[in-house]
């Protein structure tokens, strides 16, 4: 099939590469000429395991073409995927200017039937706006070419996006046209062979499904963090509680790990956007607002524990920070807990020595060169001259340190475990003070 994908960011590039890898002919369009040049050289501008090899293989095979020529893209594909960014406005609503700009471009240049597929995460009702934008552009040039608009939200986890696309749990398709649904089934057939994972529904329900899924997962995380904070005050161990409730199949173990807050490009943005959507419908989304508030509070938890341990005197101290990305297997630092922690430490007069397996370049892009920040090449280098260690992201490389060596290296002999990956007994046995999430009494 011939497919066009507008946007070469995380969602757009994964979509384009995986569809090309299934034998389709894909044109990927982006207005960023520098990014397109890098992609033509086989360079992926962000870290995602396995993606670069797929991009290189299909670009070299002629199945995946990168261009800044939007007209070429519109003329190429029966399927026109819109996978551009929808950054949050100041009020939390999704900014649709890029989505609608692509829709107008499609309307201005389409000469044959097109299926316009909204892949970007967008509020309920956006497909109606996309349909209208295409219609207005067509009307302006007197075109009567038919088209359909489909909502096809993505459910890609950073760090596992290729597997999520090629072996999906479900494929959500929102359309009111049975013919279009059949064409979408044909498109996704290579990823849908063992059993039918496609769920077809109306457009607005499909748009809401994406937000609902992320809001549910964010709610589970905030719920466990709320319980963890209560467990500390009650002298209970939240890890035991987690096992106790996770064994109930109605609850399960997924997304009930307490920590120092969620981040990334999806959960924070999507929860805010859903709250804003509710507000526009004159509905007070109390639970969702609480989910967001709990998460924002949780991001300050590690700093508060550090400040209490040192009796508020952090000026001149140095902290080793392990992990900068919002989660393992990605270099994404958007809304990351590490940013809240590190900037709070700086404001208190402390210095930071940090290491992350893949997010060092992104950290330098965000913060640049600073006297109070050393971005170092190894976890061990981060410990040099440090008073204490703060674990923020649970990369595997951080999970089995030599605690006795840590005790010899860290001048204040303290470990702050933001993801509960260490055994408190082992840490204490080495002569270190241990602070986890929901595992010790409040100081």
| Residue 28: active-site member | no
Nearest in space to 73 (alpha carbons), one of 42, 31, 131, 41: 31
The span from the CA of 434 to the CA of 377, in Å, is 25
The span from the CA of 323 to the CA of 341, in Å, is 11
Nearest in space to 110 (alpha carbons), one of 83, 84, 148: 148
The span from the CA of 210 to the CA of 170, in Å, is 11
HSE of 242, CA atoms in CB hemisphere, 13 A: 21
Among the listed residues 18, 28, 260, 266, the single catalytic one is: 266
Nearest in space to 121 (alpha carbons), one of 145, 142, 91, 152: 152
How many C-beta atoms surround the C-beta of residue 51 within 10 A?
A: 19
Beta-bridge partners for 99:
none
Q: Which residue has the tokens 């080793």?
A: 320
Active centre residues (catalytic): 266
């Amino acid at each position: 099939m011939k497919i066009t994908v507008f946007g070469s960011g995380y969602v757009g590039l994964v979509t384009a590469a995986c569809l090309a890898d299934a034998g389709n002919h894909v044109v990927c369009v982006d207005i960023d000429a520098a990014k397109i040049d890098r992609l033509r050289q086989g360079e992926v501008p962000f870290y995602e395991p396995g993606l670069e090899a797929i991009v290189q293989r299909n670009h070299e095979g002629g199945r995946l073409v990168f261009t800044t020529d939007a007209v070429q893209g519109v003329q190429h594909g029966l399927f026109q995927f819109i996978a551009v960014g929808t950054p949050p406005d100041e009020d939390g609503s999704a900014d649709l200017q890029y989505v609608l700009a692509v829709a107008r471009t499609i309307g201005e240049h389409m000469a044959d039937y097109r299926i316009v597929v909204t892949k970007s995460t967008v509020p309920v009702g956006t497909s109606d706006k996309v349909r209208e934008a295409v219609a207005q552009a067509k009307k302006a040039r007197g075109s009567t070419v038919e088209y359909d608009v489909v909502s096809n939200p993505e459910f890609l986890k950073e760090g596992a996006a290729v597997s999520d696309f090629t072996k999906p749990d479900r494929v959500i398709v929102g359309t009111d046209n049975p013919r279009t649904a059949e064409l979408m089934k044909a498109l996704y057939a290579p990823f849908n062979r063992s059993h039918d994972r496609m769920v077809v529904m109306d457009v607005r329900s499909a748009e809401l499904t994406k937000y609902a899924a992320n809001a549910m997962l964010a709610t589970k995380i905030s719920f466990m963090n709320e319980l963890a904070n209560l467990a500390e005050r009650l002298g209970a161990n939240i890890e035991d509680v987690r096992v106790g409730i996770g064994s109930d199949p109605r609850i399960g173990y997924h997304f009930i790990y307490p920590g120092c807050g969620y981040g990334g490009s999806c959960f924070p943005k999507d929860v805010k956007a859903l709250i804003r959507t509710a507000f526009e419908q004159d509905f007070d989304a109390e639970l969702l607002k609480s989910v967001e508030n709990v998460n924002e509070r949780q991001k300050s938890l590690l700093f508060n524990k550090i400040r209490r341990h040192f009796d508020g005197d952090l000026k001149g101290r140095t902290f080793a920070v392990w992990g900068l990305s919002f989660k393992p297997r990605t270099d994404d630092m958007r809304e990351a807990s590490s940013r809240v922690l590190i900037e709070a430490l700086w404001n208190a007069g402390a210095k930071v020595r940090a290491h992350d397996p893949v997010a060092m370049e992104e950290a330098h892009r965000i913060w640049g060169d600073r006297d109070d920040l050393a971005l170092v090449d190894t976890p061990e280098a981060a410990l040099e001259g440090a008073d204490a260690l703060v674990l923020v992201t649970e990369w595997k490389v951080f999970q089995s340190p030599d605690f006795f060596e840590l005790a010899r290296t860290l001048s204040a002999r303290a470990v702050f475990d933001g993801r509960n990956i260490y055994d408190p007994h082992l840490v204490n046995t080495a002569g270190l003070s241990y602070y986890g999430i929901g595992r010790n009494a409040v100081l």
